[in-house]
Chain A
């Protein structure tokens, strides 16, 4: 039998070190990239196509979800030739409704599951939660990891839970695993959780629920992108990335895309492999696109708020 070199870098539970200051330096270097003219328009349209337009409120209603779905399909009709968003992200009980609203649009329905956002429940409940979303037609499941178990050092539990939910998703839905990086405490832990999530079978790794501050940040995203890259080199399996929460303006979105461009390159610069979890990003991107088209700075009053 040919012995495979076991890389100390990518062994699932090895700790790949991350230096926070070094990460900040790299991030600030990337964010200094100047994106102008046609490159900016290209980037902005790409950003729109990558949005998981999200509503995850206790106060979500049928009409709220309907309106959001319409917005996802018609971002700004007066501009013409705009992509739609990648997905609409809702709680499991709204999956069926969203699915119906989005029929034929090519937009996916993503559902949070597994006792979102805390993840504090039994595995049975989490499986049921996931099944409910899938049965209602969810194309994507956004699960949360058990951060408490993670902090207790029960990495196997975290790993097995993800693997189990992946099993439930099967071929029906892609699994996006939310690490809730704002609760992990360090970039080293972000890296560790990323490795666990990927080796356990996630299709995507995602930063945050949007319920905890800090949510997505550029440094955290860079750490996760590096993890994805190492995993890809090690296994040949491509994993998607989704920063979520707090990304509400176009400039920041372009900076995230620049991180992807310089870390993972072309293969990830598509909405199949990169997403923004956001509720208010779209309008700012649209305003920038209009600015590029007309030369005038825009007002929020001219863009629909759903």
Chain B
């Protein structure tokens, strides 16, 4: 193979193209949203939320303690008892439709705030996070009066008050995944967003107000892990829905073991993305890129392990490196940015720890050239080659733009390696051969299998994992089940 290098760092540089922030009007300080009112935290304590791209403070966020959580749960219970459980499905649905519509109207504002607060590229928050979030409300709104058809002969009933804890990687989208089905099934909600990314969830609270949602149906309490623990341990909660790390998920499962609380856990992953020699290779490379660099790799279902058939390893690696050259890392507000800021200093430290570990374990690292800004938290897209199944960067979830590449020879070896993990959230397979696709998709132990595509999401499509990636499904018809009780 010749050494012809293609130069994709072009002389034709794109001029900055920043999304305007004039549309947004952030408050200096955000209170708790309890019982339809904005309430000061009983401790009177606040914490800062920052822009990870600039490290500048965006707003102060109320820190909810046990007392505040108790108020929120009581408000939710009251709303459940007095209004929400008394409404017909049709009426509930209409409220949820309203929320969806207002989200669509305020989409640009939500996108900009999501990007400012979380560091993700505006292209992603604009084209993926916000539209999908609205889609979830729209989809589940329609289920509210049709639950009997989803579960024939089972007489589905709402559970009561759902305690929900969302992660920082898709703040508004995860809030939508949790709130929309909960409300459609007739439950009320106490939700805690992740402490580094509370803003869009608070805007969602505003939207609930705008929609005229009855007081207390949705309550938002902000804070860190200890606030979440108060929700998990509160006696008035009937259901816990958590998305986050497997470690925290296990703590939650243990904490509620002695109770009748139902739980849905969406936890970590270490997905294998498997490329066969007969795959459409250029599209596979694009899938690899989307698989691991989407949202800076802060994705539980990220394709963080690449398994390439050895016969095409060199070609795939070459194409991958070329494609990485054209990725634009920088200001998340720039419409051309592909890779934004790492969500927090803490997460950047974790990623850098793994990158160091990968080097120490003897893996070969590749990162495109280019300088990183001094301010803000940044990490270059990173490949590790020469890794073995026993490398920690292959086994552990990094939650950053770091891809570990291995080779395989046979279908059997690919399946063995792909399934050789405690996780089982997602997997990818690339081949042009239909029967091989079905062989792979049926043998891969994962809740979502993408064949000849990767990292696609939809409101109608159930999402959730096998094994230590958690249990329960969110999205689609199957996502309703987590918020209902049945006769049989």
Does A70 sit within 8 A of B, measured CB to CB?
no
Once the chains are docked, how many angstroms separate the CA of A16 from the CA of B319? 14
Does A36 sit within 8 A of B, measured CB to CB?
yes
Q: Which B residues are CB-close (under 8 A) to A2? A: none
Once the chains are docked, how many angstroms separate the CA of A33 from the CA of B12? 13
Pairwise interchain contact A7-B1, C-beta atoms closer than 8 A? yes
Pairwise interchain contact A22-B286, C-beta atoms closer than 8 A? yes
Within 8 A of A (CB), among B1-53: 1-2, 4, 6-17
Nearest CB in chain A: distance from B407 CB, A: 15
Query: Can you spell out 16 A-B residue pairs with CB atoms less than 8 angstroms apart?
Result: A7-B1, A7-B315, A8-B277, A18-B283, A22-B284, A22-B287, A34-B336, A35-B14, A36-B16, A37-B15, A39-B13, A40-B15, A235-B2, A261-B8, A261-B326, A262-B8
Within 8 A of A (CB), among B279-335: 279-284, 286-287, 311-312, 315, 318, 322, 325-326, 335
Partner of B283, one of A22, A35, A42, A269: A22
A residues near B (Cβ < 8 Å) are: 5, 7-9, 16-19, 21-23, 25-26, 32-40, 42-43, 46, 226, 229, 232-236, 257, 261-262, 264-267, 269
Partner of A9, one of B12, B14, B312, B335: B312
Pairwise interchain contact A17-B279, C-beta atoms closer than 8 A? yes
Once the chains are docked, how many angstroms separate the CA of A232 from the CA of B325? 17
| A235 to B, closest residue via Cβ | B2
Once the chains are docked, how many angstroms separate the CA of A262 from the CA of B322? 9
Pairwise interchain contact B280-A22, C-beta atoms closer than 8 A? yes
Does B452 sit within 8 A of A, measured CB to CB?
yes
Pairwise interchain contact A19-B280, C-beta atoms closer than 8 A? yes
Nearest CB in chain B: distance from A262 CB, A: 4
Q: Which A residues are CB-close (under 8 A) to B15? A: 35-40
Once the chains are docked, how many angstroms separate the CA of A229 from the CA of B286? 15
Nearest CB in chain B: distance from A263 CB, A: 8
Nearest CB in chain A: distance from B476 CB, A: 21
Pairwise interchain contact A232-B4, C-beta atoms closer than 8 A? yes
| B8 to A, closest residue via Cβ | A265
Does B178 sit within 8 A of A, measured CB to CB?
no
Closest 3 CB pairs of A and B: A22-B283, A34-B17, A17-B280
Q: Which A residues are CB-close (under 8 A) to B8? A: 261-262, 265-266
Once the chains are docked, how many angstroms separate the CA of A33 from the CA of B335? 7
Partner of A17, one of B13, B278, B287, B318: B278
Once the chains are docked, how many angstroms separate the CA of A34 from the CA of B325? 18
Once the chains are docked, how many angstroms separate the CA of A33 from the CA of B322? 18
Once the chains are docked, how many angstroms separate the CA of A234 from the CA of B315? 10
Given contacts A34-B335, A36-B17, contact A22 B10 (CB under 8 A): no
Pairwise interchain contact A46-B2, C-beta atoms closer than 8 A? no
Pairwise interchain contact A34-B315, C-beta atoms closer than 8 A? no
Nearest CB in chain B: distance from A213 CB, A: 26
Q: Which A residues are CB-close (under 8 A) to B123? A: 32
Given contacts A19-B452, A33-B336, A262-B326, contact A26 B17 (CB under 8 A): no
Q: Which A residues are CB-close (under 8 A) to B12? A: 39, 42-43, 46, 257, 261, 266, 269
Given contacts A34-B17, A39-B13, contact A19 B283 (CB under 8 A): yes
Pairwise interchain contact A269-B10, C-beta atoms closer than 8 A? yes
Does B453 sit within 8 A of A, measured CB to CB?
yes
Nearest CB in chain B: distance from A222 CB, A: 8
Pairwise interchain contact B10-A261, C-beta atoms closer than 8 A? yes
Q: How large is the interface on B (under 10, 10 to 19, 20 to 34, 35 or more residues)?
A: 35 or more
Given contacts A17-B280, A42-B12, contact A22 B453 (CB under 8 A): yes
Q: Which A residues are CB-close (under 8 A) to B312? A: 8-9
Q: Which A residues are CB-close (under 8 A) to B287? A: 22
6 additional A-B residue pairs with CB within 8 Å, beyond A37-B15, A233-B1: A21-B452, A39-B14, A40-B15, A257-B12, A266-B8, A269-B12
Pairwise interchain contact B283-A234, C-beta atoms closer than 8 A? no
Does B432 sit within 8 A of A, measured CB to CB?
yes
Q: Which B residues are CB-close (under 8 A) to A25? A: 283, 286, 453
Pairwise interchain contact B336-A17, C-beta atoms closer than 8 A? no
Once the chains are docked, how many angstroms separate the CA of A205 from the CA of B133? 44
Q: Which A residues are CB-close (under 8 A) to B453? A: 21-22, 25
Given contacts A17-B281, A18-B282, A34-B336, contact A236 B2 (CB under 8 A): yes
Once the chains are docked, how many angstroms separate the CA of A77 from the CA of B348? 55
Pairwise interchain contact A264-B6, C-beta atoms closer than 8 A? yes
Given contacts A5-B1, A8-B312, A17-B279, contact A229 B14 (CB under 8 A): no
Once the chains are docked, how many angstroms separate the CA of A46 from the CA of B10? 13
Nearest CB in chain A: distance from B76 CB, A: 41
Once the chains are docked, how many angstroms separate the CA of A236 from the CA of B6? 11
Nearest CB in chain A: distance from B322 CB, A: 8
Once the chains are docked, how many angstroms separate the CA of A9 from the CA of B280? 10
Once the chains are docked, how many angstroms separate the CA of A288 from the CA of B284? 36
Which of B7, B14, B287, B326 has the most A CB atoms < 10 Å from its CB? B14
Q: Which A residues are CB-close (under 8 A) to B281? A: 9, 16-17
Given contacts A19-B452, A233-B2, A236-B2, contact A34 B280 (CB under 8 A): no
Which of A7, A17, A232, A235 has the most B CB atoms < 10 Å from its CB? A17
Nearest CB in chain B: distance from A207 CB, A: 18
Nearest CB in chain A: distance from B293 CB, A: 12
Pairwise interchain contact B277-A266, C-beta atoms closer than 8 A? no
Nearest CB in chain A: distance from B318 CB, A: 7
Partner of A266, one of B10, B282, B432: B10
Nearest CB in chain A: distance from B236 CB, A: 46
Nearest CB in chain A: distance from B126 CB, A: 9
Q: Which B residues are CB-close (under 8 A) to A226? A: 282
| A33 to B, closest residue via Cβ | B336
Pairwise interchain contact A33-B14, C-beta atoms closer than 8 A? yes
| A22 to B, closest residue via Cβ | B283
Once the chains are docked, how many angstroms separate the CA of A127 from the CA of B2? 34
Which of A40, A42, A262 has the most B CB atoms < 10 Å from its CB? A262
Which of B15, B286, B325 has the most A CB atoms < 10 Å from its CB? B15
Once the chains are docked, how many angstroms separate the CA of A233 from the CA of B317? 13
Nearest CB in chain B: distance from A111 CB, A: 31
Q: Which B residues are CB-close (under 8 A) to A46? A: 12
| A261 to B, closest residue via Cβ | B10
Q: Which B residues are CB-close (under 8 A) to A265? A: 6-10, 325
Nearest CB in chain A: distance from B130 CB, A: 15
Give per-residue flags for B121-142: 1 if the beta carbon is below 8 A from chain A beta carbons, else 0.
0010001000000000000000
Once the chains are docked, how many angstroms separate the CA of A18 from the CA of B283? 7
Once the chains are docked, how many angstroms separate the CA of A19 from the CA of B431? 10
Once the chains are docked, how many angstroms separate the CA of A22 from the CA of B287? 8
Nearest CB in chain B: distance from A257 CB, A: 8
Once the chains are docked, how many angstroms separate the CA of A261 from the CA of B6? 10
Nearest CB in chain B: distance from A21 CB, A: 7
Nearest CB in chain A: distance from B101 CB, A: 25
Nearest CB in chain B: distance from A61 CB, A: 39
Q: Which A residues are CB-close (under 8 A) to B127? A: 32
Pairwise interchain contact B283-A266, C-beta atoms closer than 8 A? no
